Amino acid sequence: EVQLVESGGGLVQPGGSLRLSCAASGFTLSSYWMSWVRQAPGKGLEWVANIRQDGSEKYYVDSVKGRFTISRDNAKNSLYLQMNSLRAEDTAVYYCARDLPYYDILTGYGRGYGAFDIWGHGTMVTVSS
Amino acid sequence: QSALTQPASVSGSPGQSITISCTGTSSDVGSYNLVSWYQQDPGKAPKLIIYEGSKRPSGVSNRFSASKSGNTASLTISGLQAEDEADYYCCSYADSSTFVFGGGTKLTVL
């Protein structure tokens, strides 16, 4: 079964750090761009960051640049989100999501363009004193 | 990186069709045919229902369709069913290799 399982959420004080993990199973993680998407309580979805198959490209929403770092270990079938200098507004459920490849007909390379077809169940991060 | 604009709520009766709009800018929706749509039930993870503008993943009903005109993308659900009641989100690829979601639309089936 194709599955993503997040872990690592919890309660942290403002200014603190957390590292989220996302374990992939049932598919080859190294073939996909991966993203983190969050949802504050009662609010909408917000894309947070993504990472290329080999980790060579990473992109972030402006609000987390310089504070969050996305990474992956394909050998361990795992995706990570290191979150530093946490703020109250970072409180949310954090989902990891697989991005369906959009294949370039010339190069055959599959890039992720936001077709998040597999999602984890999410892990809650609460930033509060 | 401003959120795409969606109506907060829409409603319809069983069997009817409804359309949810998603308005962006020339930096996202207007420049790329890379809008995706998600259905989210309360307390659950989102589910992909449309990608690359108008494609449906395997297993998604053909009652769901989508289109785009200029800076506005639209999701249409035909033959509305009670099970379609959920929150719906659009998402677009944007300049600087980022993504932006809409604020979400709550669909009520009357």
DSSP codes of every residue in B61-99:
-TTEEEEEETTEEEEEE-S--GGG-EEEEEEEEEGGGEE
Which chain A residue lies closest to B57 (C-alpha atoms)?
A117
Mean pLDDT over the full length of chain A: 96
Predicted confidence at residue B63, as pLDDT, reads 98
Contact A61/B98, CB-based, under 8 Å? yes
Q: Give dist(CA A118, CA A95) in Å, integer.
A: 10
Residue A123 is predicted with a pLDDT of 98
Q: What is the pLDDT of residues B30-64, one digit of tens each?
A: 999 999 999 999 999 999 999 999 999 999 999 99
| CB-CB under 8 Å, B102 with A114 | no
| pLDDT at residue B96 tops 90 | no
- Is the CB of A114 less than 8 angstroms away from the CB of B92? yes
Name residue B44's amino acid.
K
**Partner-chain contact B46 A45, CB within 8 Å:** yes
Tell me the mean pLDDT in the region A12-29: 97
B50, B97, B105, B106: best to mutate for the A interface, most A CBs within 10 A: B97
Please give the full DSSP string across B4-71, using - where no structure is assigned. BB--SEEEE-TT--EEEEEE--TTTTTT-S-EEEEEE-TTS--EEEEBTTTB--TT--TTEEEEEETT
| A35–B45 C-beta distance less than 8 A | no
Task: Give the whole-angstrom CA distance, residue B50 versus residue B54.
Answer: 6
Tokens in use for A128?
Answer: 């509060």
Those residues of chain B whose CB sits closer than 8 Å to some CB in chain A are 1, 3, 32, 34-36, 38, 40, 45-48, 51-52, 57, 89, 91-93, 96-104
Q: With a cut of 90, say whether residue A42 has pLDDT above it.
A: yes
- Residue of chain B whose Cα is closest to the Cα of A102: B52
Task: Please answer whether residues A50 and A72 qualify as being in contact, where contact means their C-beta atoms are separated by less than 8 angstroms.
Answer: no
pLDDT, averaged across chain B: 96
**In which element (H, E) is residue A107 found?**
none
Residue A84 one-letter amino acid: N
On the question of pLDDT at A100 being above 80, the answer is: yes
- Would the CB atoms of B99 and A45 count as touching at under 8 Å? no
A44·B104 Cβ contact <8 A: yes
> Chain B partners of A44 at a C-beta cutoff of 8 Å?
3, 89, 101-104
Q: How far apart are CA B70 and CA B68, in angstroms?
A: 7
- Tell me the per-residue pLDDT of B4-33, one tens digit each, with 9 for 90 and over: 999 999 999 999 999 999 999 999 999 999
Helix, strand or coil, per DSSP, at residue A55: coil
| Contact between A72 and A61 (Cβ < 8 Å) | no
Q: Can you give the pLDDT at residue A96?
A: 98
CB atoms < 10 A from the CB of A84, how many?
14
Q: Is pLDDT of A102 > 90?
A: no
Give how far the C-alpha of residue B90 lies from the chain's centroid of Cα atoms, to the nearest Å: 4
